[in-house]
Chains A and B, each alone.
Chain A
Amino acid sequence: MLEVNPLQRPMTTDFDSRDMDWYIDKIVQFLVFVAGISAIVFIIGIFVFITFEGFGFLLEDFSFREFFLSPFWEPSDEDVPEYGILALVAGTASVTGLAMIVAIPFSLGAAIFIGEFATGKLRESLKVLVELLAAIPSVVWGFIGLSIMNPLIIDLFDVPVGLNVLNAGVILGLMAAPIMTSIAEDALKAVPDRYREAAEALGATRWQVIYKTVLPAAKNGLLGAVLLGVGRGFGETMAVLMATGHAVNIPGSLFDPVRALTATIAAELGETAVGSPHYQALFTIGIFLFIITFLINLTADLIVRGIRKG
């Protein structure tokens, strides 16, 4: 995230005198470089670590077919342990999918309002509030799911249990919305004013300006915002653990309890013996999650970068 500004690079000229300032400059440059490179070091370190921990499983008990296509997850069985993550993937995907259906209209609407309509104090305070919303810890969201949404869903829809796809999807949608709003608003801001001015000069109404000019121009940035939201959804753990009902299940309806990949790791890792096949299988899920979120975030980043340049 940290980059060395090319303008601040010391110039190598003839009258270079190596005084105190010169050394301080060098040191600071080095520190900034280390900080900048640390993100890369950490990410590679983490990847190497989880691959290393999960490697034994990949070599011995892993079967591609079982792992990805079997819905049975019972790794602690003494005789015939089962390591299928299909149901867990279905759980994560269904919850994230619903979350996006909830979050996209919310965040897009909020971004358009903040970026195009709100002015002055209202705009600034809205922006601060959105960032504040993004800072609510996920345990708090999970608690809301468990103690407010659960009885509400039972009452409203007359279902036996309120911990299900609907509950977790709505919670996750609300969690992802502020981040998506921030990024979408950045994307709208990146659209040059002359586009709007040109559209208005042609007699377009405000809605027409947004719908016909600004949104198409900010298309990539908005897509990036959505993808980052999806990445957040895949990676979220605590709220999902608390609100899904934690049942290994391929959901047939919104009211079926499910279990997410992340929640499975969180719930089981602390209680498995280090180095056991179960432990390694959990790390293999970790590798899978890591790759997926990495790809999603990378795509989002590339798309967002694409528009900034273009």
Chain B
Amino acid sequence: MKRNFFIAVSLATTTLFYSLPANAADRTIIQNKGSDTLVNVAQAWAEAYRDVDADIAVAVSGGGSGTGIAAMINGTVDIANTSRKMKSKEVKMAKGKGQHPFEHVVGYDALAVFIHNDNPIKSLSFEQLKSIFGRGGKATKWSDIGINVPGCKSDKIVVVSRQNNSGTYAYFKKAALGKKGKFRQGTLDMHGSKDVVDLVEKTPCAIGYSGLAYATDHIKMTCIAKQNGGECVNPSVETASDHSYPIARPLFMYTNGEPKGAVKTYLDWIKSDAGQCILMKKGYAPSRDVSCG
């Protein structure tokens, strides 16, 4: 008896309730899902688009590029947001399921390396990034790279990363650790860009990476140099736009085949000045030169 009671209780707590959006019948709904990096701007686009065309509603959700791509492959979204290119394996898998992913570049994002406000680091070279984040890297203590962080008594570097199907994870790995590079063991794998920023903000010993758009006043970004002692570039919308910042990546939206109908007008609007200016305001670099009023 007692155990039946427990089973009933655990079943009840795990039941999820889904609610359907109201007046779903008289509006076209575009399902838009994927990258956490893009989710804020995708939401802003969806909101602004309401004033452009009230008959089209865009339902945006995050979860990571992997989520978006998985949904694209499984055919459950109209537009998948990703912060990395689809892998050839994924494209093949999608085609096997009758989906034909079509790529659109909608902007660029600088990946910033975040540290606690008390951390005195000014700049980091790729080599230093590799020794902090990479597997077999020598830097496990802040003193290993000649830095004393006030408030971090243990001196241990707390490396904050992302879950392994995040586009940010994949891009940072390739850009900072090299094509064959891998992350070290024991990184704290957060489930969203905001979680990384939140944790680094509270932890003096921590270092993490996320899209520039997630920067706040309570957290510092390091200047990134390609070579040891070389000139470093600060992450910003400008340096991402002119491609001088070395860890900037294109942001994609994927549709099934060439977009048609409502999806096409929506994507055209995103690529127009109006859409690109919203993107810039959110801290990303536009996909082309635009003039915002």
Contact = CB atoms under 8 A, between A and B. Distances in A.
B19 interface: no
B2 A182 contact: yes
Most chain A Cβ neighbours within 10 Å, of B70, B89, B154: B70
Interface stretch (B49-57, B157-165, B280-288): B157-165
Given A160-B203, A273-B69, A276-B93, A72 B165 contact: no
A77 B87 CA distance: 11
A77 B182 contact: yes
Contacts of A192: none
A160 B152 CA distance: 7
A134 B9 contact: yes
Contacts of B185: 71-72, 87, 248-250
Nearest to A160: B205
Nearest to B182: A74
A155 B262 CA distance: 54
Contacts of B3: 1
A273 B4 contact: no
Given A76-B170, A160-B154, A271-B64, A246 B190 contact: yes
Interface of B is mostly: mixed
Contacts of A179: 6
B73 interface: yes
A137 B186 CA distance: 28
A245 interface: yes
Contacts of A239: none
Contacts of A36: none
Contacts of B73: 273-274
Nearest to B165: A271
Given A79-B180, A160-B203, A161-B203, A267 B188 contact: no
A248 B186 contact: yes
B189 interface: yes
A181 to B, nearest CB: 11
A250 B6 CA distance: 33
B165 A272 contact: yes
B245 interface: no
Interface string A232-256: 0000000000000111111000001
A268 B165 contact: yes
B74 interface: yes
Contacts of A160: 152, 154, 156, 158, 203-206
A260 interface: no
Interface in B173-191: 179-180, 182-183, 185-191
B238 interface: no
Interface in B58-77: 63-64, 66-67, 69-70, 73-74
Nearest to A79: B180
A71 B69 CA distance: 28
Contacts of B206: 160-161
Nearest to B156: A160
B205 A76 contact: no
A159 B205 CA distance: 10
A268 B163 contact: yes
B23 interface: no
Interface of A is mostly: loop
A60 interface: no
B127 interface: no
A186 interface: yes
A163 B199 CA distance: 11
Nearest to B179: A79
Given A137-B13, A273-B90, A273-B93, A163 B188 contact: yes
B190 to A, nearest CB: 7
A115 to B, nearest CB: 14
A275 interface: yes
Contact of B87 (A1, A78, A82, A138): A78
B18 interface: no
A132 B54 CA distance: 49
Interface string A184-195: 001000000000
A257 B89 contact: no
A138 B13 CA distance: 9
Nearest to A242: B191
B67 A271 contact: yes
Interface string B1-40: 0111111010001000000000000000000000000000
Interface of B: 2-7, 9, 13, 63-64, 66-67, 69-70, 73-74, 87, 89-90, 93, 152-154, 156, 158, 163-165, 169-170, 179-180, 182-183, 185-191, 199, 203-206
22 contacts: A71-B185, A74-B164, A76-B165, A76-B169, A78-B170, A79-B179, A80-B180, A131-B2, A135-B9, A137-B13, A138-B13, A160-B156, A160-B158, A161-B188, A246-B191, A247-B187, A248-B185, A248-B189, A249-B185, A270-B63, A270-B67, A271-B67
Given A246-B191, A268-B164, A268-B165, 8 more contacts: A72-B185, A79-B179, A80-B180, A134-B6, A158-B153, A271-B63, A276-B93, A278-B165
| 8 interchain residue pairs of minimum CB distance | A271-B66, A249-B186, A160-B205, A76-B164, A137-B13, A271-B67, A271-B165, A273-B70
